[in-house]
């Protein structure tokens, strides 16, 4: 399996995409992003948030998809608390 197919397979296994009921004959395909996929992409849409998320993963010496989501959401939560004074 090629590197792209492998990474798409991991994205599917992480629940970030929905492949629907059909299994493609060649390679990996998907029908749409899942709710979790949209949630993750929305959380790292800003270049600032994505850069901070990557910095946190790098400082930790490794990461999982769940940790990337956690890092991005934690950073955003801190920014929101700053805006609302919490």
Sign, Cα dihedral of 68, 60, 57, 13: negative
pLDDT digits (tens, 9 = 90+) for 8-64: 777 888 888 887 765 655 556 677 888 888 888 888 898 999 999 889 888 988 888
Q: What is the pTM of this model?
A: 0.64
């Amino acid at each position: 399996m090629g590197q792209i197919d492998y990474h798409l397979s991991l994205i599917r296994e992480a629940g970030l995409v929905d492949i629907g009921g059909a299994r493609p004959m060649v390679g990996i395909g998907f029908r749409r992003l899942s709710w979790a996929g949209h949630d993750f992409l929305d959380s790292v849409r800003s270049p600032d948030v994505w850069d901070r998320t990557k910095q946190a993963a790098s400082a930790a010496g490794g990461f999982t998809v769940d940790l990337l989501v956690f890092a991005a959401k934690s950073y955003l939560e801190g920014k929101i608390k700053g805006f609302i004074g919490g």
